[in-house]
Amino acid sequence: MSFQPSFAGPQPDSRIDRTTFIRRAYLHLAVAVAIVGFIVLSAAWSFIGVGEYALDVLLAGGRYSWLVVLGAFMLVGMLATRLADNAGTNQTQLIGLGIYVLAESLIFAPLLTVAAYINPSSIGAAAITTLLLVGGLTFTAFSIKKDFSFLRSFLTMAGFIAFGAIIASVICGFSLGVWFSALMVLLCAGFILYDTSNIIHHYPTDRPAGAALHLFASIATMFWYILRIFMSRN
């Protein structure tokens, strides 16, 4: 989930250019998620024990350690997004996407470690559920071809409210519960519709890696909260 800049009006390109851009954006997304990105890195962290080490550090540091992690992640995310959105070459955009995927995989390492201890099957179930939801949302966006850019203000406001609730829960020491996770899944669904609509209608066609980064951020956040829902059942 990321707060994507608005690109006013459809970009003045031909249908072939837009079609090629969409294909490249989803190819970048597939590479980021399935080939050399998030899954491979997450498996590597698990194999070498990074997840267990990160979990020990977080537990030793108390609840405020998560604020440091979230702050660092937001900083890296903003820098990577700016790099992917504003770079003049696709190679530089890919560096931004790679930095973001690396940061996400490190953030996920402790959660995946806990999930593996509680119920290893929950990881696969959450991944399949996320894939089905993303597939359905993508099919909807491409089928109706509606411009969902009007959602931007609402999603941005809801995102800041959710982030404030997370900070408050860390500082005050209360649990947000499974219903908050369910609401976050709905929020991420809105971001995925918005991101997909931007790719179809507005996103500059020379920035496929930037488009993939925004969509990947929304999908990864959805997976995070779906996994938390499955974990809460155990």
The model's pLDDT over 207-229, given as tens digits with 9 standing for 90+, comes to 888 888 888 888 888 998 999 89
Q: What is the pTM of this model?
A: 0.84
User: How many whole angstroms separate alpha carbon 220 and alpha carbon 6?
Assistant: 21
The count of C-alpha atoms lying within 13 angstroms of the C-alpha of 47, restricted to the half-sphere facing its C-beta, is: 6
By residue count, the chain amounts to: 234
* Residues 17-38: tens digit of each pLDDT: 888 888 888 887 887 775 567 8
Among 43-57, 61-75, 122-136, the least confident range: 61-75
Angle between the N-to-C axes of helices 208-232 and 15-30, in degrees from 0 to 180, rounded to the nearest 10: 40
Residue 208 CB contacts under 8 Å (≥ 6 apart), including other chains: 21, 24, 25, 27, 28, 90, 93
Place of tokens 């890296």: 76
Q: How far apart are the first and last CA of the chain?
A: 26
pLDDT band at 12; cut points 50, 70, 90: very low
pLDDT digits (tens, 9 = 90+) for 149-178: 888 889 889 888 888 888 887 777 777 788
Nearest CA among 121, 125, 73 for reference residue 99:
73
Distance CA 122, CA 116 (A): 8
Mutual orientation of helices 90-118 and 50-61 as an angle, nearest 10°?
A: 80
pLDDT the model gives residue 10? 47
What angle separates helix 38-48 from helix 90-118, to the nearest 10 degrees? 50
**Matching residue, tokens 């903003």:** 78
Nearest to 63 by CA among 160, 169, 181: 169
